[in-house]
Structures are given as structure tokens and as C-alpha cells.
Chains A and B, each alone.
Chain A
Amino acid sequence: MPRLASTQQSCWDAPLFSMAYVLHIILLLLYCDTIHSGQSLVKVIEEPTVLSPQTIQLLCNLSDIPNNPPTVTGYWTKDGQEIENSKEAVNRNNDQYIFKKTIQAADVGNYSCVFRENDAQVTFVFDAPVMKDKRDKPIVSYIGDTVVLRCTLKNTPKTWNWYKVNNTEKDLINVTVSPLKYNIVIHQNVTKLSVLNLTEADAGTFICSAEFDIKSIESYLELRVLSLLEPLKPFLVIVAEVIILVTLILVWEKCKPGQDHNTATTENVLYTEQTSKLTHSDSNGMETTTRQRKTEQ
């Protein structure tokens, strides 16, 4: 039976952590052995993660109570709710009041010891490990392709299971039943589910479940299956736009300044000279005047 108590005397003024932060802690135990009056303290220390069934003893040590009464009453709460029959009278022991509780490792939750006299409390948090590589965006794949869904965890669970959500029900994925469809590979703390030959029906939510003795941890993965037409639609729209624009530009250019070219090439050379004098813009004026001088000579 692992004992957590240590004889640290000081308890630092850690502010109360928010619940959101606490949930991210991987099975850490919070422990504080000396509570000063009027403070609620949450202290974090790394302990080996408790993954197999065992009993754990929580210990709260209260000191520095004014008047030093012979007994103080305290009770334990789990997840904010008072545990029945947990109220106890704690006897003084050399100016300290030691309050203990024994729990099973499987009973995960937040345990707090609360002392009536000065409302001091300490929260011990038991929580499950969190999945790494959490994907909040759906995994996308195409019909006929193979997709690999992956879950990793810091610790190695006893076993991994994959489920497919089917209208709020979980269906276990059994590789032996459908070997052509699914393939599961497990490498200790990593598991991969390969879904072969995707169809539209395969789209949906998949659950990878890491089974421990005390609890199983789940992570959700969403799969979206697209048909090959999906990216083809915007592509064809763009191709159509390109063809239209190129045609428009070339036609516009042929029609607008094209008349000058046509008249020049089909006419007599001398007449060409005269029209070129009249129709050319200023940028060609230099060449035109040069040519004029030559013909005049």
C-alpha cells in the first residue's frame, strides 16, 4: 500500500488552480501536509501514476489553530459533495491534527479534506491520463482510399479497443470479423486503425479506448469521406473561368486596335503610307516622320 505522507513542514501559498488546469494533470496527487487557517491550498507533486487497483491513503495535516482545542472536526468531500459518514473528530497530536482517509484507486475524482473550524481545505485530484495528439479537426479521405487513425498515450494501457459510433451506440470493431475492412496495429502506447477501401458509410466518429484496470480513457476521432468529385468541382469552375477570360481578352484585343492593322496590310503601299500617318499614335511619330523625309527625297 503506497503511503503518500511525507514530513514536509512548509506549505507554499499556491493559488487555487482552476478546474480546467487540474483536469490536464495526469494522475497527479496533490498533497499538503500543513494547512494554515483560512487558506485553501492546492499543491501539485508528481507521483507515479496509479493505474492498477490499489488502496491509497490521503493525509491532511492541520496546524496552527488558535486556542489549540483538543479535537477538531473535519470531513471529506468528493467532487464537491460531502462523503457520507466521513465526519470525524481529529485528536490533537503535538499541535497537529492529522486527518486520514483511505480510498480505492478506481474511485477517481477530487477529494477534499475540510476542517470545520477554519474552513481550510485541501483538494487531492485523481484524474485519468489525457490522450496526446488530439485532433479537433476531422480527418479527410477519399472513397477507395485507405486511412490510418492513430491514438497515443503517455502510459501503456492493458489493452486498446476501437469503436465506431452508430447512432449514439458504440460498435466494437472486430478485425477477425472483417479483415478486409479493418486492421488494428498496437505498439504499447500507440494504436493505429487502418480502414481499407473507404466508402461513404465509413464516415463518422471513431473512438479509441485505452483500457486500464481502474478506468478506460477514450478519445474521439472524426472521419470524413469525400468523393473524388469534391475537389473536382472547384477545379472545373476555375478552368471554365480561365477559358472564358482568355477568350474574352483575345477577342477584345482582336476587335479593338485590330482595325488599324487590317487596313494597313490589305491596302496599296502608297495608301498605306497615308493611312499610317493618320492612324499611328504619337509613340510612333518619330519613325513616321523619318520615313516621310525619306520618301520626300
Chain B
Amino acid sequence: MVLFLLLASTLLGMLAGLLPVVGMQSEREANPRSDYQPPNLQPLPSPASSNCSQLTLKLEFSSEVVEHEYIVAFTGYFSEKARSLYISSALRGAGDKNLEWHIVPRENPASDFPSDFELVHIKQASSSSLLTLEDHPYIKRVTPQRKVFRTLKYIPSPEPAAPFQIVIDCSSCFSGLGHGTFVAGVIASMRECQGFAPDSELHIFRVFTNNQVSYTSWFLDAFNYAILKKIDVLNLSIGGPDFMDHPFVDKVWELTANKVIMVSAIGNDGPLYGTLNNPADQMDVIGVGGIDFEDNIARFSSRGMTTWELPGGYGRVKPDIVTYGSGVRGSGLKEGCRSLSGTSVASPVVAGAVTLLASTVLNRELVNPASMKQALIASARRLPGVNMFEQGHGKLDLIRAYQILNSYRPQASLSPSYIDLTECPYMWPYCSQPIYYGGMPTIVNVTILNGMGVTGRIVDKPIWQPYLPQNGDNIDVAVSYSPVLWPWAGYLAVSISVAKKAASWEGIAQGHVMVTVASPAENDSEVGGELTSTVKLPIKVKIVPTPPRSKRVLWDQYHNLRYPPGYFPRDNLRMKNDPLDWNGDHVHTNFRDMYQHLRSMGYFVEVLGAPLTCFDASQYGTLLMVDSEEEYFPEEITKLRRDIDNGLSLIIFSDWYNTSVMRKVKFYDENTRQWWMPDTGGANVPALNDLISVWGMAFSDGLYEGDFTLADHDMYYASGCSIARFPEDGIVIAKNLKDQGLEVLKQETAVVEGVPILGLYQTPSEGGGRIVLYGDSNCIDDSHRQKDCFWLLDALLQYTSYSMTPPSLSHSHSRVAPPVGAERPLPQRLEGNHLYRYSKVLEAHLGDPKPRPLPACPHLSWAKPQPLNETAPSNLWKHQKLLSVDLDKVALPNMKSYRPQVRPLSPGESGAWDIPGGIMPGRYNQEVGQTIPVFAFLGAMVVLSFFVVQLTKAKSKPKRRKPRIKRPTYLQQQTATAGKNPTV
């Protein structure tokens, strides 16, 4: 039997600054811990809190000779017996019979081992007797014993010294789960399961109800309190996917702008990509991922790029660092230790380390959210074989971070600190595909960290300097950046493209971008003074000749919408615990496996982050549109039609769209206290139908699900639609599937025969392209995928790119006549949907929303190159460290000995292992409003029907089978000898 406990609590820890915590202390007396307290803004006394004030340490030495005691040093190591023998023989040689002496006994465990000295007490020692002692061949020298006094004096100073800490939690006080206790323990436990910074002061807040519901407004008020109290570090072991919760995101910025170092857990949604959580995905926050004790990335740790920047840009690298998050031991609820797993646990490890680090820095002015983050990422140890979107800068290294922080000078730095598109696997996905002329520019989104001040700016413009000896002039670079670096950070997006002259060239090109960051100097006596820092971003790319059109696949990112901000429901309706489509739908997030597969098949995959009017269709073999939620501009529809006439092929993986089901999957969200109605289905089928209607094609509003076999491959259709219309000369494959719409709406099961799911069509015009429709995207999507269909994608790309009709499909016995779609009306857009709020295409109008004017295509202004006759180092990574810190010269202790150990479990404690891909309670609180009345009603109905049955049967007594009575008795006797009783 497995007891599956999911955790309910949460914890927010903060390390606080200096103000005497008057309000808090008075509260300690007023509110004993067991009393009920409002869940927020109630600092709870912590056993770990110590009342440090600002102190400086004064150290003094003095020593004096101890009378009659002498240290006798020997030439080698001898046993106690031998030492005593030598001394007595030496003193005997002195001839003084009255000499009173004895060896001062040692009472330490080491006294059993041979030693090279002895302490001798000699009364009235004459110098001659000491000299004879020294004459002994085994005695090296004799010295008087000295007593050393060291005094430590604490003197109150005006400078801040010890960091204080706040932990927000308290679910433990009420629900008995104790995760707040655990996290607080990791940071500051003093006795069992020692934490990192036992002298820190904890401020603890509860941020969840017993039902694990939390509200943005609670965080706003708690963070205001943290700012007022001048807290130093804040640990937030929670987060969510909603990075568009502006009040919350703004408040986190405000918090770090007030010099609060924020450490947050990156999330437990791995190993899927595109699962980063807010606020850990913010530039000003230290986002922490989890590893196990073998230095493998923990399966649950969220990863992939940030999705804020989609569709036009590219995501930033997160997490920032990783640390132990699997089976970490910390304080138990009542006493002792326990182990826990999750990035919730990794976050306080870093928060504890940060606390400790902050306390070591003499000049506290230098510690700020940026400098701390710079020190952590510059010192982190890179894990081999793991890419940067999983490990960030690597594993936390406390000692090295200490060394860096103690020689730190305010400066700017970059994350990642270099761009080497050839380095695998660290620079995945950049290293997985070389660049070529005519391709979509490769974008690297670099974060600028500015340790010089909370605000900063980039002076002039970043300069692109290609290295001529290394063919740097074969690439063009465009740079865009934050106008103001606030708070402590900003972005620097580098777009790299191949120059026309290298269209058929193959090789490596290198150069660098120089950025100068300036911040107002606050300690400068001169008003208006500025601190500046110049950073170099080396760039190395691999260029290949432009591949043929047929090898090039274009992924449409522009028409993929996701949560946040809108409710775009999941593509697989069976996955009830994950109702939202929130992974970005990008080839480097939840379509990563598909991307890897296409790369392994030799295709070059590019991403279109702009309308369909913004690409040169003659360059591409196939346009891939998967699970699109967005509408289309009329210009796009016209252009696509023209492109396909001119030989571009189109593959569409659609998904379900059924207005009744959409109404059914609405839910009441406890967090926002409102009803959530989806704005599209899994995909926006009515919009897709507008796009493909010109070829006489359409998807239906049917909703199907089920297993089937296609060309000897097992397939699973997870909530997809069917093809409603298809040209009569096309190839259409149909399968028997379950009607999932009926199941969702009426809880009935019905199998529908011959559902058309796949259609292949060659357009009639001369040299025209091919169109493929498939009704479900789940088999190429990494999230909730059960069976992949990459083989099908291969076959379809063979068809679209090379016009090779796969015989397994064209001669399949599942092939049916193309549907004409007369029997059922095509799906219409859900009345009153709010898609226009999130759409880049629609805008609100009286009546129906109308398309906006077509936006201009993105235009990159290429930086003017300033060529250098310089040679780049072969390994870019090693040469990128913080200025004024040379770690190679610092002697480092053997890191092995600093590894935390997994201790054997104490008796009565549970064994520990991970729950991969954990399901978290309290994540989505839909159906809460609905289920309770439903349960009550059902229960009442059951009771009622029971009594009705009872009444009708009361007259005729039912017969009972008697022989069954004996069997259990026999069983009881048998089991009595087995004697196993549950001991839960």
C-alpha cells in the first residue's frame, strides 16, 4: 500500500534587514502559536530567530608562560609508553635525585595514537636538567608551556552586520503538513538537520488556506510588509504559470528594487519543457531548479525557455542555478528530520546559502539582488551533458560564491555570458541546427545583470565586432535591448543571420558584441556621477550552405496562443488536472521531441513569429501549423493560397472545437473568483476552416478519442476533431473512434464508425503544393502524449516535400471516400467568446470583433560591423568570468568533501523517493464551486432511493444464502496465525 501525500503547504522565506522588529516581538506574547491567526501578515515566532543587532567583532590575543610546565618535542612519533621511557631516562641522566616531575596526562581520544610531544610538569627545574633533557637523542627540544588568551568583543556598530530572515508560511500550524517548518529548517535550523544560516532571523507568514488556495492580494500585502521591514532575502517556494498577473509581477519588481534578494522555486512540472513558473522566471529573481545527489537534474524540475517573449522573440535561459532538491533532509513537523523532494526544497537551499553569503560580506552596500545573482551564477559548477535550459549556469557552489562575492566590484554581467552556437549539449537547441543564409534569424535572449545600481542604461549602442581571421564578417548581428535596466536587470536580444556572401559557405564565424552599462553613482560626491561597466559577449556560430527548399520546414508560432492570459483549454480532455494549454507550443518547449525527430531526419526547422505574410514561401518546402488558436488576417489567407499554388506545402495538425464541450469545460476559479470560459477549443477550428475553405476542406466540430492502428503503428487519438470536407481526389483515412463529445456531455459511450481523421491532397495547379490535414495534435506534443506519431509526420513530410505518397496510407484499407460534409454544419465560433482580448488579429467592435489592420513585418536593423583583426579563444566559456575575480588562482578545497550526505533514515521514518511529474493540489481549483452541491445532491438521492427500495421490499423478505457464514470464520482462524495487522 502506498500512502500518497501531496503537499499542501507553502512557504515564503525572507531574510530581513535591520530594523528592530518591535511589532513582531509584542505579537509574540500576544499570539501564541496555536491560536488561530489570519493567514497573512502574521509573523509567527520561530524557534530559529535570534535577536542580533548590528555588531562588529574585536579580536585580542595575549599569552603567558605556565609555571613548571614544559613541552617536550620528540624527533618522531612515539607511543605513550615510549615517550614516558625516554623522558625518565633523560631525567635520570641529569643526576638530580630530588627532581619532582610527572607527565601531564592527556584525556583526549587522540592520546591513544603515537605523538611527537609530551607535556611535563617539573618542579624547580634547573636549566641544566632541561638541557640534559634536550640531550636525549629522541628529544628535539624543550619549551615552556604557554597559555594563550583570545578575547572576542562585540561592539555595536552603525553598519548592518547580521542578516535577518523572514519565512512566510504557516500551513504547518493548521494543516499539520509542516512544509513551512521544513523550508524554515533548511534555511535556519539550529539543531537537528542543521540549516545554512542558524543565526538568521526568520519572519514567517502563511500564504495558503487549508485548501491550498492563495490570492495575489495576500502576496501584495505580505511583500509590502517585507519591504517596510527591510528584509534582506525572501524565499518563495511557490509559483504559478501566470506571468501576466501584473499586480504580482510588478510587486516582485518593486520588492527587488527595494534590495530584497528574491529566491524562488522554478516549478515541479518537468521533464516537460516550457514549464517555468513565475516569479522564478523573472530576470530579477534567482530561479532555482532541483538536482539529486548524483548531480542529475531532478525529473520534476521545470525547464525550457521562458515563454513571455513568444511569438516574436525567443525565451530567456532559466533556471538560473540548480541545487539539491531531491530527498533533501530538513526539520520535521514536531521533531527530528524528514526528507522532501521538489524545487520547493531546492529554493531554501539557495536562500540559506544566500543568507550565509550575505553575512560574510564586509561591505553590505555591495550586496544587492544583482550582485548576489552574479556571484551565484559565476561560481556555479556546470553539470556535464545537460543543456542550459535545464541547469542554467549549473550547480550552486557556496565556497566559490563566497570567494567571488568577497572580491566583488560593482559591474554588469551577462547571462549567458557568451553565445557559442556550436557547443553541444550545453547550448541546446542552438547547437542542434547550424545557421544558413536566408533562414529566420537565430535569436539569443541574453539577460544583463547590473550590480551597479537598481537602474541602469546601455550607453550609446552595443557594438558588433566581427573577427576577420575567423570569418566574423560572414554573419550579420542585430541587437535589441531594454531601454532602462530596471530593477537590476534587462534583456539584450541578439539576432544572428548569415550574410549573403556566405550563402554557399561552410564554416565557423566568430566575433563579439560590446555593451557598456551605466548606472547613477550613489556614493559619488559629485552629483550626476555615473558608474560604467563594459561587457563583451563573444559569439561563435556554425554556418552551412542554404539547404534545399524540400529540407526546410517552417513552424508557425504566430498563430499559437496560450495561457496566460486567456483560457485556452488543454488539447487532451482526459487530463483534468492540467486544464490549460500553457507550455508555449514552441518547437523548443512542448514540441521539443518533434523538433529533435525532424532534425534527426535531416530537416531544418525554422520558426515564424510573424504573420504568414512575412515569409518568403519559395524558401520552404512545408509550413507546419499545429494546434493553432489564433485567427487569420484576410491578407494571410490570400497569401497562403498564392504560396500553395506556387509550390509551398501545408501540414495542419488541428484539435477539437466543440461549443457545447467548451461550455462544459468552463470552471469557477477560486483564485480569481470568476467563471472561466474557454475562448477556443483545443484549436481554433472555425479560423482554420476559413483558411482552408478555398480548397474545399474543413474540420468538423466532432470530438473523438480512441486507440487504433495505422500502417502497423499503434496510435492514440486524444480529443481530436474529424475532417468534415475534403476534395474528392484526395486521400482520406478513416478510423473507428469513440465519440468523446457524447462522453463529456452526457457520460455515454458510443463508437463512431469511419471517422475521417487524415487527409492528403495535391493541389491541381502546375507545380502546386500539397495539403495534409490531421485532426489531433496530441501525438506530436510532448505534454500528455501517450503514443507518438513521428513516423506519420515523416511520411507526411515525405509527401509534402518530395511528393512521395506513402503507400501505407494511399493503399490503406482504412482509406475512404472524401467526405463532402453536407450532413453536418461546420463549427461556428462560440457566441460571446473573448478571443479578441488576447488575439493579435482581432479587435473589439460593436457586434462581432473585426480583424485589425495587418501589422508591418518585423524589421531588424543590422548593427554596423566594426571588424577586428583578432583571434578568439577556442573555448569561450572558460574566458567568461566576472571581472577582477580569478578563480583559478584561488586554492579550492576538494569539493567532494562538501557534498551533503544522505544519512540513513532514523527508525520510524519513511523512506524517500520522488514522485515523478508530481501533481500538485491547489494548482487549479476549478470545480470546487460545482462539485460540492453535486455531491450533496447525489448523496441525498442515494439515501432517498435506498429508503424507497427498502419500503418496497419490506413486505417480501429477501432470501439469504446461509452457507457463506462459515467461510469468513474459517478465514479468521487462518489469518489469526498469520498475525499481520496494519500498523499505520
Whether A and B are associated in the same complex: the answer reads no
Question: Which chain A residues have a beta carbon within 8 Å of chain B's beta carbons?
Answer: none
Question: Which chain B residues have a beta carbon within 8 Å of chain A's beta carbons?
Answer: none
